[in-house]
Structure 1
Amino acid sequence: MYSVPQPVSAVRTRIRQEFERHRFVNKLPVVDVLLFQSNADFQETMNFWRQTTHIMSYFKEESFKKGPKLPSSFIEGFLEGRN
């Protein structure tokens, strides 16, 4: 389908992380919205309405890391005292 430079195991792990992120949702209206959104995402992916860059946005490094955020510009880093 898509030319994603990730192994199948990484894709499965990332999908599992998305499910685990909403593991403890108890409110029925919120569950309904999450189910609707997941169905819409699935249909968009299967109908090729998404591009490869949309799929790869799930694999950004900052979505996996919990460490410190890097500054977005040189000036912000300079003002924070980063070298």
Structure 2
Amino acid sequence: MSSQAVRTVVKEVKPILSLDHEEARKRVLNLYKAWHRQLPYIVKQYDIPKNVEQCRNKLREEFTKFDNIKDIRVIDMLVIKGQMELKEVVNMWKQKGHVMSYFKDTVEPKPQDFISKFLSGKE
């Protein structure tokens, strides 16, 4: 009896875009290719102090940052956000500072000793 109650509670979630992992993978690859094709134009339009090869390395790094995600809905949401970012950059709705913020190191090392923890407000 309790197994029937569990079966009725479990629901399938509706997919956002992709129905299976293969379709989600194709969407990710298409987004990557779109960014890859636009990078020379982005570097020229925004006049950033990076060359196309450095931008392609950063693009690869940004995509591999999320390579451990297996949930199709999360992958679809990240693809949608990536498409929005690409549209904003291509249409010049972002400024040079926004584009350059992709290149800053966002990972700050955690303080190890007491003084560093105290000064950062962690302890």
Q: Which has the higher contact order (CA 8 A, sep 6+)?
A: 1
One of 109, 116, 122 as aligned partner of 1:68: 109
Gapped regions of structure 1 (runs ≥ 5):
71-78
Q: Distance in 2 between matches of 1:67 and 1:44?
A: 28
Residue 28 in structure 1 maps to residue 72 in structure 2: yes
| Alpha carbons of structure 1 residues 11 and 48: separation in structure 2 relative to 1, 3 Å | same
- Given the two structures, how large is their TM-score scaled by the length of structure 2? 0.51
RMSD of equivalent CA atoms: 2.3
Match of 1:16, SS state, is helix
Identity %: 32
Which structure 2 residue ranges, 5 or more long, are not aligned?
A: 1-44, 117-123
Aligned length: 71
TM-score (normalised: structure 1): 0.74
Partner of 1:47: 91
Larger radius of gyration: 2
